[in-house]
Amino acid sequence: MSTLATTVDGLKFANPFVIGSGPPGTNAKVINRAFKEGWGGVIAKTISLDASKVVNVGPRYAKLMAGDGKEVIGWENIELISDRKFETWLDEFKEIKDAHPSGILIASIMEEFNKDAWCEIVERCQNAGVDAFELNFSCPHGLPERKMGAAMGQDPAILEEVCQWVRSVSKIPVWAKMTPNVTHIEEPTAASLRAGCHGVSAINTIRSVMGVNLETLRPEPTVEGYTTPGGYSSKAVKPIALRMVMEIAQLIRRDFPGRTLSGLGGVETGADAAQFILLGSDTVQVCTGVMKFGYGMVKQLCDELLAFMEAKGFETLDDFKGHSLQYFTTHAELVRMQTARKAAEAAAKESAMVRNDAEWDGDDFVKQSDALARKAAG
Ligand SMILES: Cc1cc2nc3c(=O)[nH]c(=O)nc-3n(C[C@H](O)[C@H](O)[C@H](O)COP(=O)(O)O)c2cc1C
C-alpha cells in the first residue's frame, strides 16, 4: 500500500503537505486547527524581532477572476510580515508544540542586514521549540525598502552571508525561501546551499500589478487612491513555479545532492502536488489555496495524491520524486530528435512501399492474394 509519510532533513512529516507562510499560519489558534485537520507541517507567518515597524494597510488583496467571475485564478497581496509581538509568537510556538508534538512547525523569519539580529531571532525561536526555519528572502513589497525580503534574495552575496550567520547558530534544519523576481533562480539558490542551508523553498509571490479600475482610473488594490506593486500567487502562477522548481531541482541534483526542495505556487489539488514532486520537490506547500478552500482541503489533497500513486504503482514519494526531470532538454535537441524521427518514419514508409510492391509479381496471382488475406487476418 502507498504511503504519504516522508522524512525530509530528518523531520518526520505524516504527509508532504505544508501550509505556506502567510495568513493561514497567522497565530496559534489557526495553526492548531491546521494540525487537527491533518497538515504534515505548518510554516507560520513570517516574523521579525520588532513588530512595531510593520504597519499593514487595507484593502491589501486583489483577485483575478475567471469562469464568468466565479473562480479565483490569481491573487495579489500587498500584505507585510506579521505585526504581532515577537514574544507572543515565542509563547505560541511552545503552546503549538505542546498541543501537536508530531506536527512539523516551521518558523519563517526575516531581519535587516544585521548579524546580531539574525542570530538573536534564530536562537530565541529554536529555544521555543520550533522544528525548522524558513528564511524569508523573498517578500517582494514593503520590506525591500528596509533592505529585507526580496532585496536580500536578489543579491546572492548578501544572501550567502546571512545564511552563514544563521547556520553559525542554528541547530535545526534551515530552508531559504527564494524569490521568483530574479532572472536566474539558480544563483541565489546556490548561494544559500553553499552557505550550508539544508534546503530551499520556491516560489514566493511574483511582483505584479493586478489591474486598473476603468471607472476610477486607479490601479488596484487602491489604498487612499494609490497602490504599490504587490505579490502574485494562486493557480495562475503554477506554470512559473514549476519551471523554477525544475531549475532548482536540476541544480540540486548536479551540485548539491542530498539537499531538499519545498515546492509551492498555485497548488490546489493532489494532481498539482504530484507535478511538483515529479519535478523534484520533497514537500509541497499551499498558501492561497487554503485562503480559497479552507484547512479541510488537506484531506482531498492526500486522497488525490495517494490515488495517483496507487494508479502508477508508486509506494513512496521517493519512488517518483524528480522522475520527470529527465524529460527536459534544449530546444536544439528537440529539433534534432524530431528531425531524426521524421527521417526514420519516411525511410520506413519507403521500404514498406518497396515491400508491398515486391509482393506482386503476377507469377502466381491467386497464391499471392491468398497470402495477403492471411496476413490481414493474422
Ligand atoms: C496574503 C499573502 C500573504 C503572504 N505572506 C507571506 C509571508 O508572510 N511570508 C512568506 O514567506 N510568504 C508569504 N506569502 C507567500 C506564500 O507563502 C507563497 O509563497 C505564495 O503565495 C505562492 O504560493 P500559493 O500560490 O500557494 O499562495 C504570502 C502570500 C499571500 C497570498
Domain extent, residue 346, equals 331-377
Q: Are residues 348 and 255 both part of a single domain?
A: no
Ligand 1 cavity residues, CB under 6 Å = 20-23, 45-46, 75, 77, 79, 81, 108, 136, 138-139, 177, 204-205, 233-234, 237, 264-267, 286-289
Residue 125 domain-assigned?
Answer: yes
Q: Are residues 177 and 300 both part of a single domain?
A: yes
Residue 259 domain-assigned?
Answer: yes
Express as a percent the part of the chain with pLDDT over 70: 99
Has residue 119 got a pLDDT over 90? Answer: yes
Residue nearest atom 12 of ligand 1, based on CA coordinates: 21
Has residue 114 got a pLDDT over 80? Answer: yes
Which of 78, 205, 286, 293 maximizes ligand 1 atoms within 8 Å of its Cβ, making it the mutation to test the pocket?
A: 205
| pLDDT digit string, tens, across residues 162-173 | 999 999 999 999
Q: Is 192:158 a contact under the CB 8 Å cutoff?
A: no
Query: Max alpha carbon distance in the chain (Å)?
Result: 100
Confidence at residue 147, expressed as pLDDT on a 0 to 100 scale: 81
The grid coordinates listed for 170 are 542554528
Question: 139 catalytic, yes or no?
Answer: yes
Q: Are residues 247 and 370 both part of a single domain?
A: no
The candidate with the shortest Cα–Cα distance to 174, out of 155, 193, 156, 160, is 193
Confidence at residue 357, expressed as pLDDT on a 0 to 100 scale: 80
Tell me, rounded to whole angstroms, the distance of Cα 198 from its chain centroid: 16
Q: Are residues 231 and 115 both part of a single domain?
A: yes
Tally of domains within the chain: 2
Has residue 21 got a pLDDT over 60? Answer: yes
Has residue 372 got a pLDDT over 90? Answer: no
Residue 352 domain-assigned?
Answer: yes
Per DSSP, the three-state class of 128 is coil
User: H/E element holding 374?
Assistant: helix 365-377
Q: Are residues 84 and 69 both part of a single domain?
A: yes
Q: Are residues 262 and 345 both part of a single domain?
A: no
CA 138 to centroid of ligand 1, rounded, Å: 10
Residue 355 domain-assigned?
Answer: yes
Residue 276 domain-assigned?
Answer: yes
Q: Are residues 35 and 75 both part of a single domain?
A: yes
| pLDDT digit string, tens, across residues 274-303 | 999 999 999 999 999 999 999 999 999 999
Average pLDDT over residues 349-356: 85
| Residue at which a domain ends, from 304, 325, 346 | 325
CA 375 to centroid of ligand 1, rounded, Å: 63
Nearest ligand 1 atom to the CA of 77 is: 1
Confidence of residue 84 (pLDDT cuts 50, 70, 90): very high
Q: Is 139:110 a contact under the CB 8 Å cutoff?
A: yes
Q: What does residue 365 show for φ and ψ, rounded to 5 degrees? A: -55, -40
Confidence at residue 60, expressed as pLDDT on a 0 to 100 scale: 96
Which CATH number does the domain housing residue 18 bear? Answer: 3.20.20.70
Confidence of residue 374 (pLDDT cuts 50, 70, 90): confident
CA distance 189 to 118: 19
Confidence at residue 376, expressed as pLDDT on a 0 to 100 scale: 64
Residue nearest atom 22 of ligand 1, based on CA coordinates: 265
Confidence of residue 362 (pLDDT cuts 50, 70, 90): confident
Residue 223 domain-assigned?
Answer: yes
Express as a percent the part of the chain with pLDDT over 90: 88
Has residue 178 got a pLDDT over 70? Answer: yes
Average pLDDT over residues 102-116: 97
Residue 313 domain-assigned?
Answer: yes
Q: Are residues 244 and 353 both part of a single domain?
A: no
CA 364 to centroid of ligand 1, rounded, Å: 78
Q: Are residues 123 and 187 both part of a single domain?
A: yes
What is the value of pTM for the model shown? 0.94
| Residue at which a domain ends, from 310, 325, 340 | 325
Q: Are residues 313 and 275 both part of a single domain?
A: yes
Between 67 and 325, residue with greater pLDDT: 325
Confidence at residue 301, expressed as pLDDT on a 0 to 100 scale: 99
| pLDDT digit string, tens, across residues 228-267 | 999 999 999 999 999 999 999 999 999 999 999 999 999 9
Has residue 58 got a pLDDT over 70? Answer: yes
End-to-end C-alpha distance for the chain, whole angstroms? 41
The grid coordinates listed for 128 are 521555543
Non-local (6+) Cβ contacts of 228 within 8 A are 78, 141, 142
Catalytic one of 125, 139, 197, 302: 139
Q: Are residues 173 and 303 both part of a single domain?
A: yes
pLDDT, averaged across the chain: 95
Confidence at residue 294, expressed as pLDDT on a 0 to 100 scale: 98
Q: Are residues 108 and 93 both part of a single domain?
A: yes
Residue 1 domain-assigned?
Answer: no
Confidence at residue 236, expressed as pLDDT on a 0 to 100 scale: 98
CA 287 to centroid of ligand 1, rounded, Å: 6
Nearest ligand 1 atom to the CA of 233 is: 25
Which of 17, 19, 21 maximizes ligand 1 atoms within 8 Å of its Cβ, making it the mutation to test the pocket?
A: 21
